[in-house]
Amino acid sequence: METEKSNVSKAEEFKLLANEAFNARKFSQAIDLYTQAIELNSQNAVYFSNRAFAHLRLEEYGSAIQDATKAIEIDPKYSKGYYRRGAAHLGLGKFKEALKDFQQVKKMCPNDPDATKKLKECEKAVMKLKFEEAIAAPESERRSIAESIDFRTIDVEPQYSGARIEGDAVTLDFVKKMIEDFKNQKFLHKRYAFQIVLQTREMLQALPSLVDIHVPDGKHFTVCGDVHGQYYDLLNIFELNGLPSEENPYLFNGDFVDRGSFSLEVILTLFAFKCMSPSAIYLARGNHESKSMNKIYGFEGEVRSKLNETFVELFAEVFCCLPLAHVINEKVFVVHGGLFSVDGVKLSDIRSINRFCEPPEEGLMCELLWSDPQPLPGRGPSKRGVGLSFGADVTKRFLQENNLDLVVRSHEVKDEGYEIEHEGKLITVFSAPNYCDQMGNKGAFIRFEAPDLKPNIVTFSAVPHPDVKPMAYANNFLRMFS
């Protein structure tokens, strides 16, 4: 009896420490402390609900759903459990499941104005989704939006003073002028935006799903992780490491857009470099280069606001052309998310994926975009609710079977901008410092020198940007939780 009492009071101490860590934005630390509280007292719904909240902050929606569900099981009348689970479903774009949870919150707290407001927004989102599903043409009848656009017929008004492409070639002078204009929050004319996106589409379409990159001896190659619409931090990377060129090539490893509110500037700059010199820059698809994510996390709203609806459809189409992975000098495997739920996957299997579609919810393509490493061996459920978690043994086997040395992936915020795991065989690199203006993390990129391809990691801090908040264009409903 005494031990039980002592455990309960110790658990409360851990909870208070966890709350402090949470308020200091140390979400991983908060999760560890809530876990210790739960180990001492597993019948307290608040601990699970609070841990769910910390998982939400780290975008670990799968773990948040598990914890919130546990809180509800312990105390079916605990409205915060439903509230947190609804928010997690929303983060995964599962509006219908979110709606059920918010209906429950409203039932429990009929006079809570916040619950009423969120329920209304959720109902709106579900209605919109149903309408879009109803009017969507069947897959077989869908026409390519790109093929209906002729940018040459678009006139450029005489008063337009921004960057101009003369003829068909995107030059370095044009790219530099465009970067300067974007820096000063000026827009690029639609004609040139169409030209860049259409030319990039043509180039990407011709590539395989797995691209081989050759770096000659004595030359270097830079890999960057998620940029997430943080345009001024992207320019800082170029400041630190030089502009992309044939002599200074880059691979941007997915998640160019969403969350940060300068996603359009990021994607047009990366695409313009690709048009200028295809071997100066390589681009991989991330889980955020997809319609479902762009609808929620801001890119769709931003494109609609800065350009128009046609561009929303065009970007969705071009994102489906992005390769899924790269191999540098037959030694370094670079992918946005991670590895697979089955052993024996060969590079030839990745090469033969038909990637020209929205990412499915399971299978190799989904796992390449969504999976994460875990410290334990074997495989486990995904903390995100999509893909899976894989251990060092899975990484080692994949590398051995494909005669590779290293996996480089992105997809996760890291305090130092990078993390080396799985006995040095896996590196996570993340290039959006002070992510969403609130995480306080550094950014990083990796420079590889041929022939030894030893990873040289460079870290950097966030730079100031104009006063436009992250998620400024995100789905209304999601902004309520940010």
Closest CA to 196 of 314, 357, 355, 320: 314
Are 414 and 28 within 8 A, CB to CB? no
Per-residue model confidence (pLDDT) at position 1: 58
Retrieve residue 445's tokens: 């990129």
Q: Are residues 106 and 152 in the same domain?
A: no
Is residue 336 assigned to a domain? Answer: yes
* Residue 457 structural domain: 146-479
Retrieve residue 125's tokens: 């989102």
Q: Are residues 244 and 389 in the same domain?
A: yes
For the annotated catalytic residues, the residue numbers are 288
Q: Are residues 180 and 281 in the same domain?
A: yes
Q: Are residues 301 and 445 in the same domain?
A: yes
Confidence of residue 4 (pLDDT cuts 50, 70, 90): confident
Q: Are residues 186 and 59 in the same domain?
A: no
Is residue 327 assigned to a domain? Answer: yes
Q: Give the list of residues 6+ apart from residue 323 with CB closer than 8 angstroms, or none.
A: 204, 207, 208, 209, 210, 211, 282, 283, 284, 285, 355
Domain count across the chain: 2
Q: In this predicted model, what pLDDT tens digit does every residue of 260-275 receive, in sequence order?
A: 999 999 999 999 999 9
List beta partners, residue 252: 224, 283
Is residue 140 assigned to a domain? Answer: no
Q: In this predicted model, what pLDDT tens digit does every residue of 324-364 receive, in sequence order?
A: 999 999 999 999 999 999 999 999 999 999 999 999 999 99
Per-residue model confidence (pLDDT) at position 274: 98
Per-residue model confidence (pLDDT) at position 475: 73
CA 188 to chain centre: 25
Retrieve residue 455's tokens: 């990873």
Q: Are residues 177 and 94 in the same domain?
A: no
Q: Are residues 195 and 341 in the same domain?
A: yes
- Order of strands across the sheet with 210-213? 210-213, 325-328, 332-335, 406-409, 426-429, 418-421
Is residue 352 assigned to a domain? Answer: yes
Helix, strand, coil: what percent of the chain each, to 5?
50, 10, 40
Mean pLDDT of 122-144: 76
Retrieve residue 58's tokens: 């780290």
Q: Are residues 331 and 440 in the same domain?
A: yes
Task: Supply the CATH number for residue 25's domain.
Answer: 1.25.40.10
